[in-house]
Structures are given as C-alpha cells and as structure tokens.
A and B are shown apart, each in its own frame.
Chain A
Amino acid sequence: MSTNSQSSTVLDAPVIEATGLRKRFGDTLAVDGLSFSVPPGSILGLLGPNGAGKTTTIKLLTTLLPIDEGSATVAGHDVATAADSVRGSIGLAGQSAAVDDKLTVRQNLDLFGRLYHLPADTRRARVTELVERFGMSEYANRTAETLSGGERRRLDLVAALIADPPAIFLDEPTTGLDPRGRLALWQQIRDIRDAGAAVVLTTQYLEEADQLADYIVVIDRGAAVAAGTTAELKARLERDVLQVTVDDPQRLADAIAALGADSAIAIDEHTVHLAVASAAEGLAALRRVDDAGVTTADFQLRRPTLDDVFIEITGEPVSHVEEVPQETSR
C-alpha cells in the first residue's frame, strides 16, 4: 500500500497527471478534454463557474466516477485500472464537508485513520499531531455538529491529511465560509502545499485562485479556456482597462457607441469596461463620451485583474455564476 509520499513519487515528476479527460452525462459533455499535471509542492487551481465541470473533474481523478475518454495517473497509478492504489495515495475534501456530525473531532480523524489502515500507534500519534498542528485542541472532543462552519471545514480538510497522501483534492474548500475563516483555511492549504503535497483545488473565486494557485486552469462548460500562472493570465490582457460609469443608465448605449463598443470587455447597468492600448487612447475615448453629451459620473484607468481576464475569456463575469444551474452531484 502506498499511503505516503516517499513510496512512488520521483522528485518533481508530476504527482497528478490528466490527459484529455472526457466525461459525458447523457447529451452534455461535462468534462471536455482536460489535460494538466501537478508536480509535488504545488497547487493547481481549477477555476470556473458552477456547472463548469470542476466537481466532475475531481470525481474522475478520485475514482468516484469512471472516465469516458482520456487517462489520468495519481502517484504513478492509473486511475482507471488501479483505483485501489490511487485511493491509497489521495486525500479528498469535498464541498459537502462530509465529516460525521455525531462523532467528535478526534473520533472523525480516528475513523479515517482506521479506514486508511494505519497501524494503531501511528494512527493515535497522527491524530494528536494533526489536532495540535491545525489548532483544533480546544474543540477536539466536541462532536462535529457543535462546530462552526469554519471549524467543520478545517476538520474536513485535516481528515484528508490523516495518511499523509501525496495528492490532495479540495473541491471548493472555502465555499460558504466567512472572510476570517477563509483566510485561515487559505494559510492551511499553503502549509499543506509547502509540506510537499500536490494539490488540486477547485474554486469559483478568482481571488482564491489568485491567492493560492501556482497554476490556474480556467474551465467553462467542461473545457479549458485558458491556462497559466496568474501573471501569465493577466498578461493575456496586455492593455489597460478603462472603466467609465455614466450618470444616467438610459444613456449608457450612447456612451458605448461613443467609446467604440467592439473593445468593451463588460457592461453592466451603469458601467462599461473597455480595453485601451494607452492612457492617451483612454483620454480620447473619454472625450468622445463627453462630446456625445453623456455625463460621466466616474472613470478609472487601471491594470487588468484576473476578473477582466475571466470575463474576456468566458464572456460572463464570475459574479453571475449563481444563475447557472448547479451541476448534479451524482
């Protein structure tokens, strides 16, 4: 059994490797040809709106769903043909936070230790070590149902680490957490990475991908629409962004016409975002709006954010993701 990192990872060879992954549910292609690799000590962020195929990708890589096409290996084991060895090499923390609400923190960790078949003394030592390392001593003997949302998520995360697996999968680990809980969990995820694990993290938050991921794959409708480091993705949008807010929303159309609508990245009720090559071009654009007789309430020339990149790539802002139907959990 390969339950620890030494057993099968060659130094810096990818721990997780996916090649042309495809998964179909009826007529919909939930995952459409995803390829990526994750070396030890790094975090890969799968970024996309709900229903983009993030959870399905995690399920394919963790043997919860059969792969239709393509292949994947985890710690050198083929996901399709060596599911048992793969399960011995991974830790999964899901968005459903599947800790047992009736068991205490310690009992939850102990249960996972048993199910990974750790010898009794190793198991006990590991539970104690993790409880201390992740600051859970205060509530270690409380049942999970009495924990706060953040404490539960932390327990869920730590349970995935019990056997010290080389590959960790985190499916939207911070969804529903308050900002403080999120910051704390981010630090813990970085610590896990720094301890040498290869981490795949799904998120719909750009900020989270920006903060945590060493490499980002942006997915939309199952397919990778962009990939790279945060800096590389931002560099895709070489130009600056001019953001113009008009006084009267009725006149936004006139403003867009004056600005030249073809270079608009995003438009909402009062504001148009537009890529410009230089400050001079931005100033000229503003003058055209003024000449058209539209009153400008606010304007701003700024460097592109990951948000702009996302909108340019997928055509829709991440903040509208709630409207997209939830992907089914089965």
Chain B
Amino acid sequence: MITMQDTLSIARRDLIRTARMPEQLTFAVIMGIFFLLLFYYVFGGVISAGSDVDYVQFLVPGVLVITAVNGAQQTGTGLALDLSTGVVDRFRSLPMSQIAVIAGRTVADTIRNSVGVLLVVAVGYLMGFRFDSLPGAVGTIAVAVGLGYAFSWVGAWIGARIRNAETVGMLSMFWLFPLMLASSAFVPTDGMHEFVRVFAEFQPVSVVSDAARSLAAGKPADGAILGSLAWIVGLTVVFAWLAARAYRRP
C-alpha cells in the first residue's frame, strides 16, 4: 500500500521533470514517427516490390513496439542521474518504500512511451494503416506498451549499476539497437543471415512485433501472444529483482 503510494508520488515527480525537459520529451515521442517515416519511405518500395505485402500494415505494429522499448534508455539515464546527484541519498533517508524510486520511474516512462505510441498510431492512420477492430487495436497497443514496461526495468538495472548517465546512454547503443534492428519489427526475418535470423526469431522484440501484427490484423497468433506474455512477465520479474538489488548498494 505504502509502496503503491510512494510509486505514484515518484512517478508524479518524474512526469513533472519530463514535462520540464522538452528536448528529451520531444526526442522520446518523435523517435517513433521518425522510424515510421524513414523506414516506410526508404525501404517501403524495396520491400513491397514483387510481393503482395502491404508494408504500412506490416511496419506500423513493429514501430509501435520499437517506440515503446526505445524509452528504456531514458529510464536508465534518468535513474543514473538521480543516483549520481544525491537525490537518491535524500530518498534513502526518508520513511518511504525504496523500490518505489525505480518503480515510479518505470511507471512514468511507460506513460511517456504510451504518448509516443499513440502518436505513431495517429501518423500511421494518415499513411493508410488500419486496425482490424477495436479489441485488436487495444491488444496491439497493450503488448507493445507491455514490452516497453519490461524493458524499462532492464534500463533501470543498467542505470542502477553504472550510475553515470552518459555511459548508460552510450551503452544503450549496444544492447537496445541490436534488439531493435535484428528483429522482425521493420522487415521480415526471412532475408537475414542465418546467425542473425535465429537470434531475430526468438528475441522479445520480434516475438512481440509478430504478436502485435497478428492482433492488429485481427488474426491473433496464439504462439506469438503467449510468447509475448512470457517475455514481458519474465523480463519484468528478473530485471525488477536485479534492479532492486543494484539500487540497494550504497
């Protein structure tokens, strides 16, 4: 109960901070639209050529997932910043739940990610993308935002361990980018090199992208949806535990 209350207090604080840093907010929110336009207009022609794939229908669900998981790097840099400036020392001296400092941040970042996700949906609609049904739309957004939430715990763990915002930011290149690009989010995995393809087919961004795509098209793929839930719950549990442990270190 106290943990819940403290989580909301910290989330509120983090959201006010986010709103007062327009550059960061804009970057986080625009990133998805940027990916959507870039991939559609650069690769759309190549990918659609000689096949009957409607690339906008393929791309939008993938970009929704990318938009949601990309926010994880800011979870990491934000927490690292708090840990290095003495704010956390102050929090530690308060009669509050300590896990709330991280949990609040993951909640705030998930709310911010959701804004980015909804903007991508809006731009996608202008480009001709359509959800099959409302429940399908809700399901698509839920799995995307859900994976984003799980990834924010990964970011939190890295931030709590490294505790240097710049290093955490640079490090995200090396774990987040391979997961985003070597995936089925932007292009089908068929054409990828064998090594990459095996990784690309089972890693969480691909599994959730496939699930999102099937939900958006009104043809829910049970395997991908169950796989998505397993990834989301599994990553959240494991990295929440790791992040809490890393954070407790003085």
Contacts and interface: CB of A to CB of B under 8 A. Distances in A.
B193 interface: no
How many chain A residues sit at the interface, stated as a range, is: 20 to 34
B33 to A, nearest CB: 25
Contacts of A1: 95
A53 to B, nearest CB: 16
Contacts, number: 68
B93 interface: yes
Given A96-B86, A100-B87, A64 B9 contact: no
Chain A interface mostly helix, strand, loop or mixed?
A: loop
Contact of B2 (A3, A64, A90, A117): A117
B94 A116 contact: yes
A36 interface: no
Interface string B88-113: 01111111100000000000000000
A143 B13 CA distance: 13
Given A87-B95, A88-B95, A103-B17, A98 B86 contact: yes
Nearest to B9: A114
B21 A90 contact: no
B85 A87 contact: no
A11 interface: no
Nearest to A90: B93
A116 B6 CA distance: 9
B92 to A, nearest CB: 6
Given A64-B250, A103-B16, A117-B5, A98 B95 contact: no
Interface residues of B, number: 22
A102 B2 contact: no
A100 B17 contact: yes
A125 interface: no
A87 B96 CA distance: 8
A1 B2 CA distance: 12
B94 A94 contact: no
A139 interface: no
A205 interface: no
Interface string A85-111: 101101010101110101100010001
A186 interface: no
Interface in B196-219: none
Chain B interface mostly helix, strand, loop or mixed?
A: helix
A87 B94 contact: yes
A94 B89 contact: yes
Contacts of B250: 64-65, 330
Contacts of A90: 93
Contact of A115 (B6, B16, B17, B89): B6
Given A64-B250, A103-B13, A143-B20, A98 B94 contact: no
Nearest to B8: A114
Contacts of A111: 9, 12-13
A64 B9 CA distance: 21
A84 B5 CA distance: 16
Contact of A112 (B17, B92, B94): B94
B13 A3 contact: no
A96 B85 contact: yes
Contacts of B13: 100, 103, 107, 111
Given A92-B90, A94-B86, A115 B20 contact: no
Contacts of B9: 111, 114-115
Contacts of B2: 117
A108 to B, nearest CB: 9
A62 interface: yes
A296 interface: no
Nearest to A162: B94
B21 A115 contact: no
B16 A96 contact: no
A37 interface: no
A63 interface: yes
A117 B2 CA distance: 8
B16 A87 contact: no
Contacts of B89: 64, 94, 96, 98
28 contacts: A63-B93, A64-B89, A64-B92, A64-B250, A87-B93, A87-B94, A87-B96, A88-B95, A90-B93, A94-B90, A96-B85, A96-B86, A96-B89, A97-B86, A98-B85, A98-B86, A98-B89, A100-B13, A102-B20, A103-B17, A111-B9, A112-B94, A114-B9, A115-B9, A116-B94, A116-B95, A116-B96, A329-B86
Interface of B: 2, 5-6, 9, 12-13, 16-17, 20-21, 85-87, 89-96, 250
Given A98-B86, A117-B95, 19 more contacts: A3-B95, A63-B92, A64-B92, A64-B93, A64-B250, A87-B93, A87-B95, A94-B90, A96-B86, A97-B86, A98-B85, A100-B13, A100-B17, A103-B16, A112-B94, A116-B94, A117-B96, A143-B20, A330-B250
